[in-house]
Amino acid sequence: MNSPLVITFPNTHQALKAEDFFKLLKLEFELIPTPREISAECGFALLVYNQDSSTIIRFCSEKNITLSNIFICNENKGVKNYEKSY
Amino acid sequence: MIYLDNAATSFPKAPGVVEAMVDFLENVGANAGRASYGQAREASRIIYDTRKLLAELLGVLHEERICFTLNATQALNLAIKGLVKPGMTVLTSPLEHNSVMRPLRCLEEQNVKIRQFAFKELSVDWDDWSAKLDENPDLVIFTAASNVNGLVLPYRELAQNARQKGIPVILDAAQALGTLPINGDDYDIICFPGHKGLLGPMGTGGLYISPGIEIASLFQGGTGSRSSEELQPEVMPDKLESGTLNIPGIAGLNSALKFILHTGINKIRKHKQEITANLIYKLTEIPELILHSPLSVQQNAGVISLTSRRLGLSEFALHLDRAGIATRMGLHCAPSAHKTLDTFSDGGTIRLSPGYFTTREEIDQAVAVIKGLHE
């Protein structure tokens, strides 16, 4: 199983646009406050389960959704670590 | 009261507008784009959805290029001052509202040159238009319909002519959006109010900026994005939307847009044309009146300007006020238009502007009063 991905956006508008599209695609995700360790661009980020970065990039490109970065969220002994994959 | 001042602001508002505003203030109330708790998300969602509804109305794909303002005047100032640079030449119509003319006049201090194309009677003087366009102005800006006499300009054709020559076009859709068909991608920038033809609350408006057109931000400040940086973000719509938006107003506009889209521009236009035709027909039966508007409703966005041979302007307005008929007397913030119509020196006209909710009975009553004043 893939580690969850944290997707960040340049602004709220793009985050909500992605939220709409991911709902339509029935992806498993939740809207979360952007972890401060990774970005201060937009207050919201999407935490997406069971997907890989390239699929997310393709989905966003299909719908003209501008994303900023994708981080792979790993957890080790309760400490979250964000590895930038895009 | 018989409300015939819809060119100033629509009344009543679309069904659901008041309820949406109250609901936001009572049950949501949070600021948008700054936090991720439920109510803040709901506020962001209202703004996002409203932008999408506007994009649907304008037939454009890039809803993020629609920015909210407080009114059309603010949108026009953003567009004009964000696009015009010192030394540029701007071509405009002689029927413009001061929301276009004052920002342009202000820019004259920066050596900006203003040119106006001519009208013959109530039509564009095409020879003069072509000649002025051949001078290669840096920008063309004009209203889609006059706020003084309702004249619908051939806005699509004018824009097409200018853009074919690579000249960007700003459309002032203050009297047009919600009443006339407007395709967003036919223009470089469209400025509009939310509280006139869109039937939303005051304090709402916006502009659509086509892809490829970049304008400078007049205001800088908090946007909820890129908060670590002190430079204004370039990303749209944040670039032009610093500070807290009028979210209760946008919630109201959201309801109004749903009503407009559900009803359809064609139905709205048809109803306004019927009401306007009825009003024009009855007014032309009063020989003491002079109408300064196009008599054909195809060329009229639903605004009728008139003067009386018998009554002075203020006397006429006073009688209408006392009879409970809401109209607007004077120059309608458009001195250039009144000069073009030759009504400036007399202080302007009486303007009657019915709306989508104006009934035939109200028109009959208003005409009966006007007729009575001239017997």
Q: Calculate Rg over the CA atoms of chain B.
A: 21
What DSSP string runs through chain A? -PPPEEEE-SSHHHHHHHHHHHHHTT--EEEEEPPTTT--SBSEEEEE-S--HHHHHHHHHHTT----EEEEEEEETTEEEEEE--
| Beta-bridge partner residues of B116 | B92
CATH node for A5-84: 3.30.70
At B110-136, the pLDDT tens digits run: 999 999 999 998 999 999 999 999 999
Contact B9, B194 (CB under 8 A): no
Q: Does the beta-carbon distance from B64 to A14 stay under 8 Å?
A: yes
d(CA B69, CA B253): 12
Give tens-digit pLDDT for A51-76: 999 999 999 999 999 999 999 998 88
Specify the 3-state DSSP secondary structure of B373.
helix
Show the tokens assigned to B77.
Answer: 């100032």
Domain ranges within chain A, ordered by starting residue: 5-84
Give which of B31, B36, B240 to mutate to test A binding, by max A Cβ within 10 Å. B36
What pLDDT does residue A37 have? 82
CA B242 to chain A, closest CA, distance in angstroms equals 13
Instruction: Confirm if B232 and B220 have CB atoms less than 8 A apart.
Output: yes
Distance CA(A45)–CA(A32), nearest Å, equals: 5
CA-CA distance, B39 to B25, in Å (whole number)? 11
End-to-end CA distance of chain A: 19
Contact B160, B186 (CB under 8 A): yes
Sign of CA dihedral B305, B311, B316, B319: negative
Q: Give residue B229's pLDDT.
A: 86
Q: What's the CATH class of domain B265-373?
A: alpha beta
Distance from CA of B74 to the nearest CA of A (A): 22
d(Cα A9, Cα A31) in Å, to the nearest integer?
12
- Asked if A33's CB is within 8 angstroms of B41's CB, the reply is no
CATH 3.40.50.2300 fits B17-263, yes or no: no
ipTM: 0.86
Under the banding of pLDDT at 50, 70 and 90, the label for residue A35 is confident
pTM attached to this predicted model: 0.95
Residue B23 phi/psi, 5-degree rounding, is: -60, -45
What pLDDT score was predicted for residue B282?
Answer: 97
B61 chain-A contacts, CB cut-off 8 A:
64
A12: nearest CA in chain B? Answer: B33
Strands B169-172 and B189-193: parallel
Neighbours of B1 (CB within 10 A): 11
Q: How far apart are CA B239 and CA B246, in angstroms?
A: 17
**Residue A40's pLDDT band (boundaries 50, 70, 90)?**
low
- Compute the distance between CA of residue B85 and CA of residue B215 in angstroms, rounded to an integer: 11
- Comparing alpha-carbon positions, the chain B residue that sits nearest to A14 is B64
Question: For testing the chain B interface, which of A7, A9, A12, A41 should be mutated: the one with the most B CBs within 10 Å?
Answer: A12
The model's confidence at residue A1, banded by pLDDT at 50, 70 and 90, is: low
Q: Which residue of A has its CA nearest to B51?
A: A13
Q: Chain B: residue nearest A63 by CA? A: B61
What is the domain partition of chain B in residue ranges? Answer: 17-263, 265-373
If you measure CA to CA, which chain A residue comes closest to B64? A13
Q: For chain A, what is the mean pLDDT? A: 90
Helix pair B360-373, B265-283: axis angle to 10 deg: 20
- Taking a C-beta distance cutoff of 8 angstroms, is the pair B155, B142 a contact? yes
Q: For B372, which DSSP code?
A: H
Which one of B33, B61, B62 has the shortest CB-CB distance to A12?
Answer: B33
Give me the residue label for tokens 């063309």: B140
Mean pLDDT by 10 residues, chain B (375 residues): 97 98 96 84 95 98 97 98 97 97 97 97 96 98 97 98 98 98 97 98 98 94 85 94 96 98 97 97 97 96 96 95 95 92 92 97 97 94
Q: Which residues of B touch A (CB under 8 A)?
A: 32-36, 41, 44-45, 48, 51, 61-64, 223-228, 233, 235, 237-238
